C-alpha cells in the first residue's frame, strides 16, 4: 500500500532555517529499487549533494526496498530544507530514467516539520529502526542502507542520548525516550 500522497500546505518559509523535517518518499508501484549498493549508493550521493547545496545535513536516513525515510536539518538561517528534498527527488528521478527502467518516485512525499516540543531522538529512532520493524534485520546497525550525511551518526546518537538524559533536546524526557538497541 503506497504512502498517501500529501499536498504541501505549509508556506515554503516553514522549511527554511535551522530546523529539522522528517520525510518519507515512496517509489511508484512500490518497486523494490533500493535492493543493493549499486542502486542505493548513487542515490545517497545525490542526497548528499542536494543537502550540501542547500546548507543542510541529514542526521539519519534509511533506504528501504521501496521507499526512503530521512531527516533533513538546516545548518543556517538561510538553509532551504524543502528545496534540498525536491532537488534530491528530481536528480534521483533522472537517474532512475537512465539506470532503472520503469522506476519513478510517487509524485509527492510525506513530510513533518519537527516542532521544538517534540523529541528529535524519537524521530531518529523511528527512522533507523524501520528495517527492524520490517523484519529485515535484528538491529538497526546491521542494515546496510542507513546512515547520516554531514554528521557522524555515532557521535550524533551519543549527543542525542546525552541531551535527552539531561532534558535538553526539544523538551524530550527520560520517560518518553526509546533505546537505540
Predicted confidence at residue 7, as pLDDT, reads 59
- Structural domains in the chain (count): 1
Residue 173 lies in a domain: no
Predicted confidence at residue 167, as pLDDT, reads 44
Predicted confidence at residue 157, as pLDDT, reads 80
CATH number at residue 72: 3.30.70.1290
Residue 4 lies in a domain: no
Residue 5 lies in a domain: no
Residue ranges making up the domain that contains 86 = 12-165
pLDDT tens-place values along the chain, 181 residues long: 455 555 556 788 888 999 999 999 999 998 899 999 999 999 999 999 999 999 999 999 999 999 999 999 999 999 999 999 999 999 999 999 999 888 999 988 999 999 876 778 888 989 999 999 999 999 998 999 999 999 888 888 887 776 655 443 333 333 223 333 3
Predicted confidence at residue 179, as pLDDT, reads 37
- C-alpha to C-alpha distance for 63 and 48, rounded to whole angstroms: 14
- C-alpha to C-alpha distance for 125 and 121, rounded to whole angstroms: 6
Among residues 73, 64, 28, 12, which one has the least CA distance to residue 43?
A: 64
Residue 113 lies in a domain: yes
Residue 181 lies in a domain: no
Predicted confidence at residue 4, as pLDDT, reads 54
Residue 178 lies in a domain: no
- C-alpha to C-alpha distance for 155 and 158, rounded to whole angstroms: 5
Predicted confidence at residue 8, as pLDDT, reads 59
Residue 133 lies in a domain: yes
Q: Considering the entire predicted model, what is its pTM?
A: 0.83
Amino acid at each position: 500500500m503506497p504512502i498517501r500522497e500529501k499536498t504541501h500546505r505549509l508556506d515554503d518559509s516553514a522549511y527554511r532555517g535551522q530546523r529539522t523535517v522528517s520525510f518519507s518518499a515512496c517509489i511508484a508501484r512500490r518497486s523494490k529499487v533500493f535492493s543493493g549498493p549499486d542502486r542505493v549508493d548513487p542515490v545517497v550521493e545525490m542526497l548528499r549533494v542536494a543537502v550540501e547545496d542547500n546548507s543542510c545535513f541529514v542526521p539519519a536516513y534509511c533506504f528501504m526496498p521501496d521507499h526512503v525515510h530521512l531527516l533533513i536539518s538546516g545548518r543556517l538561517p538561510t538553509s532551504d530544507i524543502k528545496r534540498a528534498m525536491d532537488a534530491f527527488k528530481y536528480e534521483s528521478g533522472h537517474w532512475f530514467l537512465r539506470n532503472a527502467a520503469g522506476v519513478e518516485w510517487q509524485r509527492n512525499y510525506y513530510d513533518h516539520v519537527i516542532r521544538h516540543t517534540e523529541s528529535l531522538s524519537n524521530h531518529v529512532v523511528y527512522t533507523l529502526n524501520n528495517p527492524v520493524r520490517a523484519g529485515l534485520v535484528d538491529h538497526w546497525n546491521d542494515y546496510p542502507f542507513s546512515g547520516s550525511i554531514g554528521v557522524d551518526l555515532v557521535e550524533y546518537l551519543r549527543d542525542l542520548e546525552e541531551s535527552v538524559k539531561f532534558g535538553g533536546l526539544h523538551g524530550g524526557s527520560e520517560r518518553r525516550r526509546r533505546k537505540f538497541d
